[in-house]
Structure 1
Amino acid sequence: MDLALSTTLHTTFDDAIERTRTALAEQGFGILTEIDMQATLKAKLGHDMEDYRILGACNPTLAHQAVEINRQIGLLLPCNVVVRRDRTDPDTIIIEAMNPQLMVQVTDQPALDPIADEATTLLRAALAALESTQP
């Protein structure tokens, strides 16, 4: 099983962040958290790295359904979406969303299948929207 659903963009990093936020919002996901890995690693370790942002995306309806099945599922929520600059091609921005099927695999609870399927459909739609808006 793939760890992520992904796409690439050829745009600025800031534009990719904004477009990703918009595409996720159009599919019912809000951003609960945002971690700037580049800034954090620079501040804490003095380490330089490429642009790398983790967006903690959450679809409240799907999160509620999942938590009703398994209260511990919150350990796997929200769905992380990474927006990062390609290390080998600085003109390419990679957008990766956690594969929701991992929830089912990790918990071994088939009741989560339809929720993971719907989350996968919505995340794929968000990534497809990003691809369709390429300049």
Structure 2
Amino acid sequence: MFYTVDTAKSFEQAAADLDAAVKRHGFGVLHVHDIGNTLRSKGLSFTENCRVFEVCNPAQAAKVLAADMQMNMALPCRISVYTEKGKTRIGMIKPTDMLAMLSQDPALGQVAREVDEKTTLMINEAK
């Protein structure tokens, strides 16, 4: 269900490289949630870093929404760059697994496979 890789890169470099890989593959970054900084800004003790990238390919999103408008709640895809006990990691919940839990529509399954392939490439390139 999860696809996660470790990288020898710094957190900042991995985040920058993911951003570039997303754009190279025809996706856009809709927003980046900096969860680590948000928690620290609220006065919480949080030593790890975590940025969640909301990524989307408009053509693929349109296909998903045309098949089932309720799937808007599963969009956009999220890819995280984070640290865990001194290691930098990049990961996501696999689109194929997420959509399979929500729908049995074969058209959605095909879109999920295509998005899964692209997002996995992005993660591997950023690694």
Output the TM-score relative to the length of structure 1.
Answer: 0.86
CA shift digits 1:42-87 (9 cap, x unpaired): 1225232301111101111111110110111110111011100122
Which residue in 1 is equivalent to 2:60? 62
Q: Alignment length, in residue pairs?
A: 126
Match in the other structure for 2:35: 37
2:85 aligned with 1:116, yes or no? no
- 4+ runs deviating over 4 angstroms: none
Among 86, 93, 101, the residue aligned to 1:98: 93
CA distance in 2: counterparts of 1:103 and 1:48, whole angstroms: 32
Identity of aligned residues (%): 23
Deviation at 1:111, TM superposition (A): 2.4
Which stretches in structure 2 are left out of the alignment for 5+ residues?
A: none
Cα RMSD, aligned residues only: 1.4
Cα deviation code 1:13-39 (max 9, x no counterpart): 111100011111111111101111111
Give ranges in structure 1 of 5+ residues lacking alignment: none
What residue in structure 1 maps to residue 49 of structure 2? 51
